[in-house]
Amino acid sequence: MEMTHVRKGTKADLREALALIQELAVYEKEPEAVVVSVEQMEAWGFQENPHFEFFVAERNEQIVGIAFYYIRYSTWKGPMIYLEDIVVKEESRGNGIGARLFEAVANVCAERNFHGMTWQVLDWNEPALNFYRKYNASFSAEWLNGYLFTEQIREAAWHK
């Protein structure tokens, strides 16, 4: 039986991590949406106050999954972890790798004594919804996601 090892991600893992992020974007029908580069991820993730942290899952010395997360602050609850993405290579799914990655991030939350963990999932992604339901996760139908991208900010009349 092949063993899967989950560990903290490093700079050296970013190229493969970005490939998995692009795989996820294709699955979510937005392949053109990924604009970040390995160099940007290295600069943003490995500075004194990194913008993200991540885990990788390895099998046979190959990265087969990733989980990216960061700390967010809830004015009602205090610090929480935002799970940005979990991605497992398609051919490696169904082997518990996603669960190992999810639980690694949840353990960081518990170790740091944060209030909880939050994430988004597309309403049509039944495999992901079913995965999270196994953890007795709660979902909100009340909150809508709002976005304002750099182009919109720069074009706004109020922008300096």
Please provide the DSSP assignment of 96-109 as one string.
SHHHHHHHHHHHHH
Asked if residue 72 lies in contact with residue 117, where contact means CB atoms within 8 angstroms, the answer is no
Helix (H) or strand (E) holding 64, with range, is strand 62-74
Q: How many angstroms from the chain centroid is the CA of residue 102?
A: 10
pLDDT of residue 143: 84
What share of the chain in percent tops pLDDT 90? 82
How many Cβ atoms sit within 10 Å of the Cβ of residue 134?
Answer: 9
- In the chain, where the domains are located: 4-155
List 27, 70, 82, 132, catalytic entry: 132
Residues facing residue 21 across a β-bridge: none
pLDDT of residue 150: 84
pLDDT of residue 141: 86
Does 132 participate in catalysis according to the annotation?
Answer: yes
Summarize pLDDT for 47-101 with one digit per residue, the tens: 999 999 999 999 999 999 999 999 999 999 999 999 999 999 999 999 999 999 9
Query: In the structure, what pLDDT confidence band is assigned to residue 142 with cuts at 50, 70 and 90?
Result: confident
Indicate the class that CATH gives domain 4-155. Answer: alpha beta
Q: Is the pLDDT of residue 1 over 80?
A: no
What's the mean pLDDT when you consider all of the chain?
A: 94
Whole-model pTM? Answer: 0.91
